[in-house]
Amino acid sequence: MKKVEDLSVKIFADGADKAGMLEMYAKPFIKGLTTNPTLMRKAGITDYKAFSLDILKAIPDRPISLEVFSDEFEDMERQALEIASWGKNVYVKIPVMNTKRETSYKLIEKLAAKKVKLNVTALMTLTQVRDVVAALDPNVPSYVSVFAGRVADTGQDPLPMMAAAVELLKVAPASELIWASPRELLNIFHADSIGCQVITVTNDILKKLSLVGKNLDDYSLETVKMFADDATGAGFKL
């Protein structure tokens, strides 16, 4: 098994807690960071701009993806241009569609023509990947974020689709595929095996990296000891 430092896939930390983001930033294997309105809300963020500028000041040298939150494309464009102006390391997250199921391809094309670095998010099909890639400027850095974890939640194996998506992105050399919403640490190795360039990982999964390469007999014994300690601690009797 490869060591984490030998993987080709870049690991991005996904979160909205400043302390947690800075903790991940301090790790050399974390190559970028992403967040979204849902994570921000869970973290209790109320001032979007103030929080974003604070994070960008603390983390000026790695890509950070910040998402628009309007549902109207005209306002999305305004927000995207403002967010992009906050830093050279900013990638603006644009959802693949709005809540009315209207696709954002025209907006993506418009922003890409203005050299805005984008992270097109919430994709779940190869058709969406193909259409997003067609809208991007092949020479402007961007990310195409496919929610492989949510695809897996539907009972479908995302690995073949993600491998096909890697091929689709080859016509846009400045763009990189993100394996988004992973459900387990093994997904990092899945992404690496197919040549996916980036995977976004939450802190709870990242904390399991210390287990990579662990002796399974030792792990089995630790598990048995845990059960025994818990049974003793609970005072179970028969």
Instruction: Write the pLDDT tens digit of every residue in 165-207.
Output: 999 999 999 999 999 999 999 999 999 999 999 999 988 898 8
Q: Check if the beta carbon of residue 104 is closer than 8 Å to that of residue 95.
A: yes
4 pLDDT more than 90: no
Classify 211 as helix, strand or coil: helix
pLDDT in tens, 49-60: 999 999 999 999
Task: Provide the 8-state DSSP code for 61.
Answer: S
pLDDT of 148 reads 98
pLDDT of 25 reads 94
pLDDT of 119 reads 98
CB neighbour burial string for 110-142, b if at least 16 within 10 angstroms, e if fewer: ebbeeebbbbbbbbbebebbebbbebbbeebbb
Mean pLDDT for the chain overall: 96
pLDDT in tens, 111-125: 999 999 999 999 999
Residue position matching structure tokens 């025209």? 106
Between residues 118 and 38, the one the model is more confident about: 118
Task: Provide the 8-state DSSP code for 103.
Answer: B
CB neighbours of 184 closer than 8 A, spacing ≥ 6?
A: 205
> Average pLDDT, stretch 72-88?
98
pLDDT of 179 reads 98
> How many other C-beta atoms lie within 10 A of the C-beta of residue 21?
23
pLDDT in tens, 137-175: 999 999 999 999 999 999 999 999 999 999 999 999 999
> Average pLDDT, stretch 88-114?
98
Q: In Å, how far are 74, 160, 169 from 112, measured between CA atoms?
A: 15, 28, 15
Tell me how far apart the alpha carbons of residues 95 and 76 are, in angstroms, rounded to a whole number. Answer: 10
Predicted TM-score (pTM) of this structure: 0.94
pLDDT of 203 reads 86
DSSP string over 178-202: EE-S-SSTHHHHHHHHTT--EEEEE
97 pLDDT more than 90: yes
Side chain identity at 220, as an amino acid letter?
S
Q: Check if the beta carbon of residue 90 is closer than 8 Å to that of residue 60.
A: no
pLDDT of 3 reads 81
Angle at 151 between CA 145 and CA 155, to 5 degrees: 165
Tell me how far apart the alpha carbons of residues 26 and 67 are, in angstroms, rounded to a whole number. Answer: 23
Q: Which bin fits 7, alpha (ψ -120 to 50), beta or left (φ > 0)?
A: beta
Tell me how far apart the alpha carbons of residues 45 and 126 are, in angstroms, rounded to a whole number. Answer: 34
1 pLDDT more than 80: no
Per-residue confidence band for 5, with pLDDT thresholds at 50, 70 and 90: confident
> How many other C-beta atoms lie within 10 A of the C-beta of residue 221?
11
Q: Work out the burial of residue 65: count CB atoms within 10 Å of its CB; fewer than 13 is exposed, 13-18 middle, 19 or more buried.
A: buried
pLDDT of 6 reads 86
